[in-house]
Amino acid sequence: MPGAVIVGTQWGDEGKGRFTDYLAKDASLCVRYQGGHNAGHTIIVDGEVFKLQLVPSGVLYPHVVPVIGNGVVVDPAVLISELDMLSAKGVEVSRLRLSGNAHLIMPYHQEIDRVTERYLGKNKLGTTKRGIGPTYADKALRVGLRVQDLLDPKIFREKLDLVLREKNGLLSKVYNRLPMDANEIAKTYLDMVPRLEPHIDDTVHLVHESLDAGEWVLFEGAQATYLDLDHGTYPFVTSSNPIAGGVCTGAGVGPLAIQRVVGVVKAYTTRVGSGPFPSELLEGDPIGDDLVERGREFGTNTGRRRRPGWLDLVMLKHATRLNTCTELAITKLDVLSPLKELKVCVGYLGDDGTRYEHVPYHQSVMHKIKPIYETLPGWGTDIERAEKISDLPTEAKDYVQFIEDFTKVHVSFVSVGPSRDQLVVLPRGE
């Protein structure tokens, strides 16, 4: 069962899209298994930038069938807009398949997301206000509308009327907002059916047909390990399960279908939104500001400035366990090139003097721990033209080796620039 998963090992924004793009050349299907358009993948091909939100990265290969699985929540207007963008750039999108069991993001989800964040004030979670969390909440409450409901206008309208009674009561009586019009919503969504219907399919069956034929299937997640609803820095997390285990529910396969788990790690650390960040370099720190500038650390979708910090190997090692990573892929090593010395977090110190070699489970401890750093020499020279591991300076190779030794997971890839071809491949034993 030749399945492979690309998973982020930090708080997202590691550059998973480029490795999905790289590995997709040998795949038949590229399957997105969770999340919504609250996360983006940026891929640069021959100098052209593709910013994808819902469509899997494999769409850029003509032989790959891109699949949006049942675990994804979909804003159909955003999906159509993205398909139009790709078509305008000459990318064939007719192959896209969309799970009929994927849940729809509705206008009331987005409104509830906005007013809830405003209501929380200083305790806000830092969501993208795209309606992702409320959609997953309705899924759990079993009142969500799914893609397949669009194919039966009568059922769609009945379900919409039922849920809108509760949502309008919440919006008007709790948040003092105007109620939403069911007729307007129904017309907007049903008018999109002609564009969506050719893509709607039984994606679980499609995935298993490919696996049974011995074809490689690549599973692509959004966000990352520490934004996982169960295993991340709760409540500052997303509303789904980005970890490799999320493939099972989000795409409809069993664990034995997965042979390869590629954990993507940025050569330093960033996160967007609120929440604990032990190795953070606070805004105004010259090194942190330089990382943001050189790494273009602004959200693909939101444009928000990412919070930068040194590489946290304690978190990375825990992530490799949670995901059973078979290998690692390091991104943005080139961003560190100007620095004379580099720090990596190898442990934590609690406010009571306790040393932690693992990620503390208790939120009160996690919010107060201080990083324990080891300092490594920088290389101070450009590495963007490196094509093989021997092209890298000794200090850069040592940095990569330090990561591998600490995590005990082989580093298979190192990116040395933003373009598709700026990638160093490291076979095992090198």
Q: Which of 37, 41, 199, 231 is catalytic?
A: 41
Distance from C-alpha of 287 to C-alpha of 260, rounded to nearest angstrom: 35
Q: Is 41 a catalytic residue?
A: yes
Distance from C-alpha of 333 to C-alpha of 407, rounded to nearest angstrom: 17
User: What's the Rg (C-alpha) of the chain?
Assistant: 22
Distance from C-alpha of 16 to C-alpha of 325, rounded to nearest angstrom: 14
Distance from C-alpha of 1 to C-alpha of 10, rounded to nearest angstrom: 27
Distance from C-alpha of 243 to C-alpha of 265, rounded to nearest angstrom: 14
Locus of tokens 């049903």: 190
Residue type, 37: H
Residue type, 372: I
Sign of the alpha-carbon dihedral angle for 393, 49, 147, 11: positive
Which of 321, 241, 240, 232 is closest to 271 using CA atoms?
Answer: 232
Whether 37 contacts 130, CB under 8 Å? yes
Which of 193, 164, 179, 171 is closest to 77 using CA atoms?
Answer: 193
Q: Residues 366, 324, 16, CA angle at the centre, nearest 5°?
A: 80
First to last CA, the chain: 28
Residue 30 C-beta-side C-alpha neighbours within 13 Å: 29
SS (H, E, C) 338-378: CCCEEEEEEEEECCCCCEECCCCCCHHHHCCCEEEEEEEEC
DSSP state, 305?
B
Locus of tokens 């490795």: 19
SS (H, E, C) 384-425: CCCCCHHHCCHHHHHHHHHHHHHHCCCEEEEECCCECCCEEE
Q: Is 318 a catalytic residue?
A: no
Active site residues: 13, 41
